[in-house]
Amino acid sequence: MKPSDSNKNDIVLKEHVFDGIQEYDQKLPNWWLFTLYIAIAWFIFAWVAYYQLPFKMPDSHEKIDAQMALIESKKQEELDSMMASISNESLQEMSLDTSHLDAGRAIFEAKCIACHGQDLSATMNGIQLPGVPLNDSEWKYGAEPLNIMNIVTNGSPDVTKGMIAWNTQLSPAEIAQVVAYILSHH
């Protein structure tokens, strides 16, 4: 039967065979076609709305930047409020409290031991480490507890051979605990 001789309701066979399979020539289902047409219309609308109209929806980078700015502002507020309540005397008192010392020791061993050594002497098995000794009475940038806290928070003023700023990795409370641990060795 030729395709022209067939009735519209009959299945029309193409005149070729591939790998022993004779292919039917049928119309696509309506639900599939409507889905395709709706997807095309949605794409055109979304493209026009995103690239051509004057208002722009924020993309993921802008959303992440906004969230990071919010986090940084909250962190700065927390730091400012904590710094307002911290004094040399309060840090000295923290250095006598065992709960703060234990927390400060744990943070020191996790973060600071590589440069300042287990015993704060800046040596390990006779090898000089890159940090300065913290168990002596000589302080490079001030011996007051707030000076020490400032160095731990903002890093060394000498960026070429000084300590990094830990305010990006430690909270103000954790920094205060580390400073209290260091002060407990004096």
Q: What is the pLDDT of residues 3-28, one digit of tens each?
A: 555 555 666 656 677 787 777 777 88
Hey, what long-range contacts does 149-152 have (CB within 8 A, 24 or more apart)? 149/86, 149/91, 149/175, 149/176, 149/179, 152/178, 152/179
180 in Cβ contact with 101 (< 8 Å): yes
* C-alpha span between 40 and 33 (Å, rounded): 11
Residue 8's pLDDT is 58
Which residues does 17 contact at the CB level (< 8 Å), separation at least 6?
Answer: 23
Give CA–CA dist 154/163, Å, rounded: 9
DSSP H or E stretch at residue 79: helix 60-85
Q: Which residues are bridge partners to 13 per DSSP?
A: 24
Q: Which CATH class is domain 82-183?
A: mainly alpha
b/e map 57-81, b = 16+ CB within 10 Å: eeeeeeeeeeeeeeeeeeeeeeeee
- 43-92 pLDDT, tens per residue? 999 999 888 888 777 788 999 999 999 998 988 887 777 777 788 888 88
pLDDT at 36: 97
Residues of the chain with CATH 1.10.760.10: 82-183
How long, in residues, is the chain?
186
Which amino acid type is present at position 141? Answer: Y
- pTM score: 0.58
d(CA 64, CA 173): 26
